[in-house]
Each structure stands twice: as structure tokens, then as C-alpha cells.
Amino acid sequence: MLNWGIMSAGGIAYVFCNAMRFTDSGQILAVASRTPSRMERLVNDFGIPRRYTSYEALLEDEEIDAIYIATIHPLHAEWAIKGAEAGKHILVEKPISMNYAEAAAMVEAARENDVFLMEAFMYRCHPQVQRVVQLIQEGAIGDIQVVRATFGTRVGFNPQSRIYNHEMGGGGILDLGCYTASVVRLIAGAAEGKLFLHPTVIKATGKVGPTGVDHVAVATLKFENEVIADIVAAVEGNVGRGVSIYGSEGVISIPNPWLPSSPCRGAKEPLPLDTVFPSSTIIVQSHGSGESSEIEVPVDRDLFTYEADTVANYIDARQAPAMSWDDTLSNMRLLDTWREEVGVVH
């Protein structure tokens, strides 16, 4: 059983702690935060026995096996590298870093210090993704031709907020586009029996606001196997949150690709231990028959529980197929190019 330390006590840390109640692969031993009120909430709601007011103190705790880094984006690289140097296994929130160079340094630190490292794309750990990959490789819709992935929301403009702050890694591409970029690379790779492919062509445009971050961004990608992808990220508008995969014989639609089966995501308090987790749905439509079928993917735990269990299951291998080091580096290269095309550089 892994002893987890939580670094930062914001909203996503609360979700992760809630989800950890539904696994026996690990337990939360300690939390470190520079915001006492948030830390106390985690400690009190989840019975966390140890608390630290500095991240350094958390890394010095010899009984901590793994660190979940839930800080803002610009702090990911610094603390993942320090965590690796302290001999801790690392799960770090997405995007793993601000750019490819930082991500490469983090991977190198994990390799040099022989520790596990994974970017926390929780949706990649869910059975829904495994079922989609299986459908593609079984030829359920023939040859994959086009993929469209969108993730957008409307956040009121506030130049002081993290979402619109350039130095804090704001904008749609880093926060939401990382999902759309990761899923189309996964799908293009699945069509070839690989974990992912990197695009050979990247063309993008978008709207950059007065604080220098992208409000809306769109990219068109082409892969070596002729798969074309269209990815959209937005913090200024509800452009949708779905994935559609168009093949020569049909279409696969994923209505809820990013947050399937996650009551913990919106919970304001600890969920009951007898919580029933909702299944997720994949829709397959055939061009030939015109018929549409819904595939229910049963689950037995929260989305973020699957993520924590993935770390535990692959910790000896030091990386997990759900999001390998090469996969993460490919994603960051794509995000860098997307931002540069739009006019946002970190």
C-alpha cells in the first residue's frame, strides 16, 4: 500500500483525497499547503494524520512513498524534480509543465533518481478509454479518417484570475487543450496498434486576449497514417466537451470523454463509502445500417480512484501505459507548437 503525500490543498486535491477513499492500493498520509484553511479542510474531512506548512517538509517525510502534485502549473516542474531527488514517486497534475523543456527535465529527473512519474490525465486511466481503443482496433467503424475533440467552458474575464494570468499558465490550450491534444494522438496511435502518434502537420489559430493568454484556440493536425484531427480549447465559450471519431464504416462518439464516472469531481464533502459509480456511455453508429448502439462501460470506482490505482499498479515499471513519458513529451511538443501558432509563448 502506497503512502501518499498531497502537495497543495486546492479543489483538485480535495477530489483526489475523496477518490482515495475507494481504494486499498494506498492511503493519504500527509498534506502540505501554504493555505492553512484549505489544509485544515482536507485534514478534517479525510482524517489525514500529518500536515505540513511547507512542501519541503512533506518531501522530508521518510514514510511518504508517492507525491500528488496539485499546485498551479508553473510550480509543477520545480516540485516534481525536487520530489524525484527526494526519492518520491510522482503523480503531477496536467499539464505536466509549462513547456516541453520543463517536461523533459522532469522525465530526466525521474529516470536519474529511479522513481515513477506520470502526468495526471485521469481519463486515460478509465475503462472507457480502453473500450474505445478496443473498438478502433477491432475495426468497429473501419479505417479511422477524422477525429474531432472539443473542451470548452465560459469563464468570466478577470485579469487577476489564474485562467487569464499569463505567468500562471492561463489560457485554454494549457488548461483544456492538453486533453484534446492527448486524446487525438491516442486515437491516431490506436489505429496503428500503438500507444500514440505524434502529428506530422500542425496548423492553428485562435483569439489571444489583453493579458496574453488564448481565450479560444483551434488546431488541425495530420498524422503519418493520414488521420486528420481537429482540436478545440476555449475558456471564453462553451464550444462543447466531446470526442467524435469518424471512420470509413461509421462513427464513435464519446459524450463524456474527460470526466466519466466521477461523483468525486463535484462533491463538496466526503462521499459515502457505499456510493454507486455511474457507468459511462460510448455511441457507435454504422454507416451501412444507419443503426446506432450505446455501449455501457461498467465501473466500480471513481475516475480519480482509477488514476491512483494506475500509479500503484505500475510503480515498479516507473511509468504507466496510460500516459508514458514519451506520450507526455509528445503532448507537450504539440501544445508548444499550438501556442506558438496562436501567439502565446511560455
pLDDT at 173 over 90: yes
Query: Domain limits at 186?
Result: 123-302+316-342
Q: What number of residues does the chain have? A: 346
pLDDT of residue 35: 93
pLDDT of residue 24: 96
pLDDT at 246 over 90: yes
Q: Do 91 and 150 lie in a common domain?
A: no
Q: Do 210 and 277 lie in a common domain?
A: yes
| Range in 169-178, 197-206, 286-295, 326-335 with the lowest mean pLDDT | 286-295
- Distances in Å between the alpha carbon of 169 and those of 239, 249, 333? 21, 41, 16
Q: Do 71 and 82 lie in a common domain?
A: yes
- Assign 200 a pLDDT band (cuts: 50, 70, 90): very high
pLDDT of residue 86: 98
Residue 96's contacts (CB-CB under 8 Å, 6 or more residues apart) are 76, 80, 102, 103, 106, 119, 328, 332
- Assign 316 a pLDDT band (cuts: 50, 70, 90): very high
DSSP state letter for 324:
-
pLDDT of residue 345: 86
**Residue 309, domain member (yes or no):** no
Q: Do 105 and 140 lie in a common domain?
A: no
Q: Do 152 and 275 lie in a common domain?
A: yes
pLDDT digits (tens, 9 = 90+) for 11-38: 999 999 999 999 999 999 999 999 999 9
pLDDT digits (tens, 9 = 90+) for 248-258: 999 999 999 99
Closest to 188 in 3D by CA, of 139, 244, 128, 228: 228
Question: Cell numbers of 242, please?
Answer: 466531446
Share of the chain above pLDDT 90, in %: 97
12: domain CATH number is: 3.40.50.720
Q: Give me the phi and psi of 229, to 5 degrees please.
A: -130, 145
Q: How far apart are CA 150 and CA 217, in angstroms?
A: 10
Average pLDDT, the chain: 97
pLDDT of residue 288: 76
Q: Do 144 and 293 lie in a common domain?
A: yes
pLDDT digits (tens, 9 = 90+) for 133-150: 999 999 999 999 999 999
Residue 87's contacts (CB-CB under 8 Å, 6 or more residues apart) are 113, 115
Pair 51, 8: CB distance under 8 Å: no
pLDDT of residue 9: 97
- 186, HSE (Cβ side, Cα atoms, 13 Å): 26
pLDDT of residue 291: 85
* Domains in the chain, number: 2
pLDDT of residue 339: 97
The 3-class secondary structure across 101-130, one letter per residue, is HHHHHHHHHHHHHCCCEEEECHHHHCHHHH
Mean pLDDT of 212-229: 98
Share of the chain above pLDDT 70, in %: 100
329: domain CATH number is: 3.30.360.10
CA dihedral 78, 173, 175, 284 (to 10 degrees): -130
Residue identified by cell 501554504 is 34
Closest to 232 in 3D by CA, of 256, 250, 247, 214: 214
pLDDT digits (tens, 9 = 90+) for 275-300: 999 999 999 999 877 789 999 999 99
Q: Do 107 and 150 lie in a common domain?
A: no
pLDDT of residue 232: 98
pLDDT digits (tens, 9 = 90+) for 56-83: 999 999 999 999 999 999 999 999 999 9
- Assign 209 a pLDDT band (cuts: 50, 70, 90): very high
pLDDT of residue 221: 98
- Assign 346 a pLDDT band (cuts: 50, 70, 90): confident
Q: pTM of the entire structure?
A: 0.97
**Residue 310, domain member (yes or no):** no
